Amino acid sequence: MDNKKMDILVVDDDQDFASNLADRLIAEGANVKTANSAAEAMQTLQDYPFDVVLLDLGLPDVSGMELIGRILCIDATLAIIIVTGRNDLETAVSVIKKGAYDFIVKPIHFEELWIKIVNATQSRQARQTIATFEKEMSVSYGFDQFIYKSQAMHDTVEHLRQLAESDATVLVTGESGVGKELAARALHYNGPRRLKPFVTVSCAAVPETLIENELFGHERGAFTDAFERQMGRFEFANTGTIFLDEIGDLSPMIQTKLLRVLQERSFTRIGGLKEIKVDVRVIAATNKDLQAEVAANIFRADLFYRLSVLPITIPPLRDRPEDILLLAQHFLEFYSQKTGKPFHDFSKEARDMLASYSWPGNVRELQNAIERAVVFGIPPSIAARDITLGPLRQAVHEHAASAGALAPLRAVEASHIAEVLTQCGWNISQAAHMLGIGRDTLYRKIRQYGIVQKKT
Ligand SMILES: Nc1ncnc2c1ncn2[C@@H]1O[C@H](COP(=O)(O)OP(=O)(O)OP(=O)(O)O)[C@@H](O)[C@H]1O
Ligand SMILES: [Mg+2]
C-alpha cells in the first residue's frame, strides 16, 4: 500500500478535531484536506480528487447521512468512513445502506481508523477497476447493440442517433419487448451526458406513495418510517439522465408533480418545502397508446405534450419479419456460448416456425424462446420440437389482454415477481419493498416458483 498517494478529506464541524486528525494522517504519509461543513466538503470534492472521506454525521448545514449520497454522486468509487459520536447499531446500518464503506465511533483509536482507511483504499481500487469496466461496458450500450436488417429498424436507429445528440425529452413508445429500454440506454450512452449517471425508474403498477418517494425522496419525519432525509431518483440522476419506464402507469397525482419537474426542473421532497433544482435529461417509455389515454382523461394532456417533444416509436417485430432470423441467430450464438452447448443453426422447420410466428412479445419473446430452445435442444442444430412459442410470461400477458381466458393466480404472481425482480436488478430488499412483502416471503416465493435471474 502506497500511503503517500492516499488523498483523504476530513469533514467535521469540530475544527480542532478535524485538524488534529489531519495531523495524524499527514504523519502517516497521507495528503489531507479538511472541511467544516457539508457545503465546504462538496466544494473541496469538486476541486480535488480523493480516495477516502472521513465524514462526521452531525454537520451544521446538511446531515452527514444525506451527504453520503451526494458524495457518491460525484464519485461512486469514493470510500466514505463515517466518524461519529453516535454509537448505535441503527445508525451504523443506515450509513452502510446509504453506501458508506465503514463506520467508527468517537473517541477514535487512531490505529483502528488507520486499518479501516487502508482497507477502504484497497476496496476503492477494486471498485475503480469495476467502474472502468462499466465505462467500457457503456460502449456495449451503443447502437451496435441493435441487431436488424429491416429498413424500418434502420430508420429507427438513424432517428435514435439524431435524438441522442440532443438534450431534449424523448418519449419512446412501442409494444412490450421491442427494445425501448435498449433505445433509452443507447440515447444516454451516446449523448452528451454519457459519462454521467443513467438512472432508471419503473413506474409500473407501483403504489403511488412508493413511486413518489422513489422519484422525489422525502424529508425526515415526512411519514412514520422517515427517520432520515432521503434523496429520490431525480436527485441521483442530477447532471445525467433519468429513464422513466412505463410512464403510462403513473397516477394523476404523480403526473402533476412530474409535469412541474419537466417545466421548472425543480421539485420538493415529500414533506418538504425547499425547492430542489436538478439538471436532468428525461427519457420516458411506454407500451401504452398515450394519446388514447389522454383522450380518455387517464393521462394529462399537458404532460403528454411535454414528454413527447421528441417522440420515437420502435416498430413491432411482426412489421419487420426480415429481422426475426437474424435476431434468432444472434441469440442462438449468445446462449450457445453462455451454456457451452455448441449450436450453429436452426433446422429448416425451426426456421419456418420462427419466421411465421407473430411474436406478440416481440424481441424479448424471441430471445426467451431461443434461450429455452438451447436448453432443450441437442447441438449442432435447433429443431422445431425444441421451440415452444408463447412462454409463461407471454401467456400471462396474452391472457390478461383477452378478457375471456384468465391466467391462474400462481402464474400471474410468479410472472409479476419475476418482472419486479428484473426491474430492481435483483435487489431483494427493493423488490420486496415494491411488492409490499417481506424479504423472507420473497425468497420463499422465488424458490417456490423457481424464478431465476437472467444473465443478459
Ligand atoms: N434490435 C435488437 N437487437 C438485439 N436485441 C434486442 C433488440 N431489441 C430488443 N433486444 C433485446 O430484447 C430484450 C427486450 O428489450 P427491452 O427490454 O429494451 O424492451 P422493452 O421495449 O423495454 O420491453 P418492455 O415493454 O417489456 O419493458 C432485451 O434483452 C434487449 O436487449
Ligand atoms: Mg422495458
User: Within its chain, how far is the Cα of 448 from the centroid?
Assistant: 27
Residue 180's pLDDT is what? 96
CATH number of the CATH domain containing 93: 3.40.50.2300
Q: What is the pLDDT of residues 338-348, one digit of tens each?
A: 888 899 999 99
Residue with the nearest Cα to atom 28 of ligand 1?
364
Residue 135's pLDDT is what? 55
Query: Does the pLDDT of residue 194 top 90, yes or no?
Result: no
Least-confidence region, from 152-156, 209-213, 223-227, 380-384: 223-227
Q: What is the pLDDT of residues 243-253, one digit of tens each?
A: 999 999 898 99
Indicate the DSSP class of residue 187.
H
Structural domain for 433, as ranges: 394-449
For residue 93, the tally of other CB atoms under 10 A from its CB is 11
Surrounding ion ligand 2 within 5 Å at CB are: 181
Instruction: Quickly list DSSP for 387-420.
Output: ---S-HHHHHHHHHHSSSS---HHHHHHHHHHHH
Same domain, 149 and 263: yes
**Count of H-run helices and E-run strands, the chain:** 19, 16
The average pLDDT across 188-214 equals 84
Same domain, 156 and 102: no
Same domain, 148 and 241: yes
Residue with the nearest Cα to atom 8 of ligand 1?
179
Cα–Cα distance for residue pair 416/424, rounded to 1 Å: 12
User: What is the residue type of 236?
Assistant: F
Ligand 1 binding site (Cβ under 6 Å of any ligand atom): 146-148, 174, 176-182, 287, 327, 363-364, 367, 456
The distance between the two most distant Cα atoms of the chain, rounded to a whole number of Å, is 79
Residue 47's pLDDT is what? 85
Q: Which of 137, 159, 189 is where one domain is finished?
A: 137
Query: Does the pLDDT of residue 393 top 50, yes or no?
Result: no
| Residue 452 confidence class, pLDDT cut points 50, 70, 90 | confident
Q: What is the CA(398)–ligand 2 centre distance, in A? A: 17
Task: Give the mean pLDDT of the chain.
Answer: 86
| Residue 127 confidence class, pLDDT cut points 50, 70, 90 | low
| Residue 136 confidence class, pLDDT cut points 50, 70, 90 | low
Same domain, 121 and 162: no
Mutate to test the pocket of ligand 1, among 143, 172, 178 (most ligand atoms within 8 A of CB): 178
Q: What is the CA(437)–ligand 1 centre distance, in A? A: 29
Q: Is residue 155 part of a domain?
A: yes
Q: Is residue 454 part of a domain?
A: no
Residue holding cell 434468432? 328
Closest atom, ligand 1, to C-alpha of 148: 1
Query: Does the pLDDT of residue 454 top 80, yes or no?
Result: no
Which residue did the predictor score with more confidence, 394 or 285?
285
Same domain, 159 and 213: yes
Which residue did the predictor score with more confidence, 387 or 87?
387
Closest atom, ligand 1, to C-alpha of 361: 26
Residue 401's pLDDT is what? 47
Same domain, 290 and 344: no
In the chain, how many domains are there? Answer: 4
The average pLDDT across 202-213 equals 80
Q: What is the CA(314)–ligand 2 centre distance, in A? A: 12
Mutate to test the pocket of ligand 1, among 159, 364, 370 (most ligand atoms within 8 A of CB): 364
Q: Which of 390, 410, 435 is where one domain is finished?
A: 390
From residue 228, give the alpha-carbon distance in Å to each of 31, 119, 215, 217: 32, 28, 16, 10
Mutate to test the pocket of ligand 1, among 182, 200, 398, 454 (most ligand atoms within 8 A of CB): 182
Closest atom, ligand 1, to C-alpha of 456: 29
Same domain, 277 and 322: no
Q: Is residue 123 part of a domain?
A: yes
Query: Does the pLDDT of residue 418 top 80, yes or no?
Result: yes
Q: What is the CA(318)–ligand 2 centre distance, in A? A: 18
| Residue 1 confidence class, pLDDT cut points 50, 70, 90 | very low
Residue with the nearest Cα to atom 13 of ligand 1?
364
Residue 434's pLDDT is what? 79
